[in-house]
């Protein structure tokens, strides 16, 4: 039995359990122990004596702080003050803060402060709102872990909800009490199917949200530094899993993905809506290249009877077709498209050995990437057969050197059409010879044919000879140089080559 004047632990704690709901909102603040590395200093704003006064931190949350009233202090409810808070050796400064509540009992006197404003980068808020923020996919949210500010085994887990060129928006549990604007975090971030990064960010603002009935902290952060690898991995995630509208949009904000094609679905045309988009893309691609003869051309003019006789291939990014082409398979008695304008030489392969590739074009906002290369892979992997190895296509003159390097040869034939303002050169290439490196430039074999060659050999679509195997082994040695060339070619700059072909 307790003697008179003695109180139990519950009664003792009740003396210190002051109500600061106005300060912390829904968050239950963390108790700060004397040995925790949490310090604070306080001063009146605009006072003649600008010195900070040290104060003991009693409780802390991302939204507010409770301080033990300092000896000799002269602070009153409603006064504007400045606060310096140090957590784990890292300082954060707040200005424009109001002393929301001063409460007292016989045990202690506390000051409750709402941490509603920060002194860092206030002038940049308007610029930040103007830059696009890309939402992360709910099915593939990136996650991150950061060491806590207190304790050896302390850590904090976050979800990355959106990404901009300036920073990340994070969410986490309300249990993370020791987070404040101005504080830095080192995030070990995982981006599904893309890669892992270590990102250093600074907390700019903190709020509370509710998701699926669960309250969470929302943390706006700013990148401290991003190198090229960081930006490339972020860009790859964005092109595959965010709501980014185009490659051009990402590039305008400093992000360049390694492989645009991983965010594109390739398949054969399925619907009338797909075909409408194909015609619109053809018109847009040729308008951007300035190859159309008549300015009054409409999307319907970009189709012809051969569309019904061909297999139309498309690549979709989100719900938009960004690359398309068609492949036509003729029999011995059906003329090729180009035979309407020229007579084929006697030594030409038979019609039933040829695949006609035509109407190949890419969206202007998705050029200078691996998109066209991946589309070639799709065409070859879906249509290549040893009985029909020849590919016939028309090209603008400026693209001929490129096609020569990847295994096509000039046939000596060319012709014009009423739709175009320039002639097209007729090219012929044997895909099996190109895959085996017999007719291609060594670097361009690695860029264009290496992957599809490995696929064809693995599936016994192509059977290499011993000499072919030696040649292929030698070509693979040049992979690093080829990748460097590819990276340079796709750097955003004034285009030298067309990405729209007429025939």
Say whether both 390 and 313 belong to one domain: yes
Say whether both 245 and 265 belong to one domain: no
Asked whether residue 285 is domain-assigned, the answer is: yes
Asked whether residue 405 is domain-assigned, the answer is: yes
Asked whether residue 121 is domain-assigned, the answer is: no
Q: How far does CA 408 lie from the centroid of its chain? A: 35
pTM value is 0.81
Say whether both 192 and 341 belong to one domain: no
361: CATH: 3.40.630.30
- pLDDT classification of 75: cutoffs 50, 70, 90: confident
Asked whether residue 126 is domain-assigned, the answer is: no
Say whether both 42 and 166 belong to one domain: no
Asked whether residue 428 is domain-assigned, the answer is: yes
Residue 139 sits in which domain range?
Answer: 134-252
Q: In this structure, is the dihedral angle defined by the CA atoms of residues 259, 319, 393 and 438, taken in order, positive or negative?
A: positive
Say whether both 202 and 67 belong to one domain: no
- pLDDT classification of 170: cutoffs 50, 70, 90: very high
* Per-residue pLDDT at 490: 58
Query: Is-contact 358 393, C-beta < 8 A?
Result: yes
Number of domains observed in the structure of the chain: 3
Q: Please identify, among 252, 270, 286, the residue that sits at the C-terminal boundary of a domain.
A: 252
Asked whether residue 128 is domain-assigned, the answer is: no
- pLDDT classification of 124: cutoffs 50, 70, 90: very low
Say whether both 236 and 295 belong to one domain: no
181 pLDDT more than 70: yes
What's the order of all strands across the beta sheet hosting 408-415? 264-268, 311-317, 320-329, 354-362, 390-395, 424-430, 408-415
Rounded CA separation 188/158 (Å): 10
Say whether both 49 and 177 belong to one domain: no
37 pLDDT more than 80: yes
Say whether both 192 and 326 belong to one domain: no
In this prediction, residues 289-295 reach a mean pLDDT of: 87
Rounded CA separation 450/145 (Å): 38
Query: Is-contact 358 337, C-beta < 8 A?
Result: yes
- pLDDT classification of 368: cutoffs 50, 70, 90: confident
238: CATH: 2.40.10.220
Rounded CA separation 221/146 (Å): 13
The DSSP code sequence of 140-207 is S--EEEEE-SSSTT-EEEEEEEEE-SS-EEEEE-TT-----TT-EEEEEEEETTTEEEEEEEEEEEEE
Asked whether residue 425 is domain-assigned, the answer is: yes
* Per-residue pLDDT at 74: 78
Rounded CA separation 128/168 (Å): 12
220 closest CA partner among 174, 258, 164: 164
10 pLDDT more than 50: no
Residue with the larger pLDDT of the pair 325 and 483: 325
Say whether both 267 and 349 belong to one domain: yes
Say whether both 352 and 407 belong to one domain: yes
49: CATH: 2.40.10
Say how many C-beta atoms besides its own lie within 10 A of residue 116's C-beta.
13
Q: Please identify, among 252, 269, 289, the residue that sits at the C-terminal boundary of a domain.
A: 252
Write down the mean pLDDT value for the chain. Answer: 85
Asked whether residue 289 is domain-assigned, the answer is: yes
259 pLDDT more than 50: yes
Residue with the larger pLDDT of the pair 351 and 51: 351
Q: Please identify, among 252, 282, 309, the residue that sits at the C-terminal boundary of a domain.
A: 252
What does each C-alpha distance from 284 to 211, 308, 419 come to in angstroms?
A: 41, 21, 14
Residue with the larger pLDDT of the pair 399 and 115: 399
Say whether both 199 and 221 belong to one domain: yes
- pLDDT classification of 383: cutoffs 50, 70, 90: confident
Say whether both 429 and 323 belong to one domain: yes
The proportion of the chain whose per-residue pLDDT surpasses 70, expressed as a percent, equals 85
Query: Is-contact 361 314, C-beta < 8 A?
Result: no
């Amino acid at each position: 039995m307790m003697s008179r004047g003695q109180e139990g632990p519950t009664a003792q704690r009740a003396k210190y359990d002051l109500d600061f709901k106005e300060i912390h909102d829904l968050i239950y603040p963390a108790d700060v122990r004397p040995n925790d590395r949490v310090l604070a200093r306080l001063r009146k704003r605009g006072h003649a004596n600008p010195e900070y006064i040290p104060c003991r931190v009693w409780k802390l949350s991302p939204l507010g702080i409770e301080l033990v009233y300092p000896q000799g202090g002269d602070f009153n409810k409603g006064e504007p003050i400045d606060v310096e808070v140090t957590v784990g050796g890292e300082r954060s400064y707040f200005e424009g803060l109001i002393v929301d509540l001063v409460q007292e009992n016989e045990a202690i006197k506390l000051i409750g402060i709402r941490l509603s404003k920060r002194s860092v980068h206030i002038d940049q808020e308007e610029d930040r709102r103007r830059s696009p923020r890309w939402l992360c996919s709910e099915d593939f949210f990136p996650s991150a872990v950061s060491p806590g500010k207190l304790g050896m085994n302390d850590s904090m887990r976050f979800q990355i909800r959106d990404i901009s060129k300036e920073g990340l928006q994070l969410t986490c549990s309300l249990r993370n009490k020791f987070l404040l604007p101005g504080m830095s975090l080192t995030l070990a971030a995982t981006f599904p199917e893309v890669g892992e990064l270590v990102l250093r960010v600074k907390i700019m603002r903190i709020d509370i949200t509710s998701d699926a009935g669960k309250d969470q902290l929302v943390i706006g952060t700013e990148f401290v530094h991003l190198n090229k690898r960081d930006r490339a991995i972020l860009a790859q995630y964005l092109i595959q899993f965010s709501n980014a509208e185009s490659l051009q949009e990402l590039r305008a904000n400093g992000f360049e993905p390694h492989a645009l094609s991983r965010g594109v679905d390739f398949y054969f045309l399925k619907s009338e809506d797909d075909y409408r988009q194909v015609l619109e893309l053809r018109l847009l691609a040729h308008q951007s290249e300035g190859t159309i003869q008549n300015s009054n051309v409409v999307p319907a003019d970009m189709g012809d009877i051969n569309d019904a006789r061909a297999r139309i291939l498309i690549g979709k990014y989100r719900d938009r077709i960004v690359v398309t082409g068609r492949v036509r398979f003729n029999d011995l008695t059906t003329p090729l498209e180009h035979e309407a304008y020229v007579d084929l030489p006697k030594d030409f392969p038979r019609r039933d050995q040829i695949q006609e590739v035509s109407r190949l074009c890419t969206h202007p906002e998705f050029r200078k990437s691996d998109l066209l290369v991946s589309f070639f892979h799709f065409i070859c992997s879906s249509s290549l057969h040893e009985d029909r190895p020849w590919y016939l296509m028309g090209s603008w003159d400026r693209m001929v050197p490129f096609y020569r390097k990847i295994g096509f040869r000039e046939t000596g034939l060319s012709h014009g059409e009423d739709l175009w303002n320039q002639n097209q050169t007729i090219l012929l290439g044997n895909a099996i010879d190109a895959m085996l490196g017999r007719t291609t430039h060594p670097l361009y074999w690695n860029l264009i044919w290496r992957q599809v060659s490995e696929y064809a050999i693995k599936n016994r679509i192509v059977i290499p000879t011993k000499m072919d195997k030696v040649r292929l082994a030698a070509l693979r040695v040049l992979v690093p140089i080829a990748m460097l060339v590819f990276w340079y070619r796709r750097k955003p700059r004034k285009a030298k080559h067309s990405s729209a072909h007429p025939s």
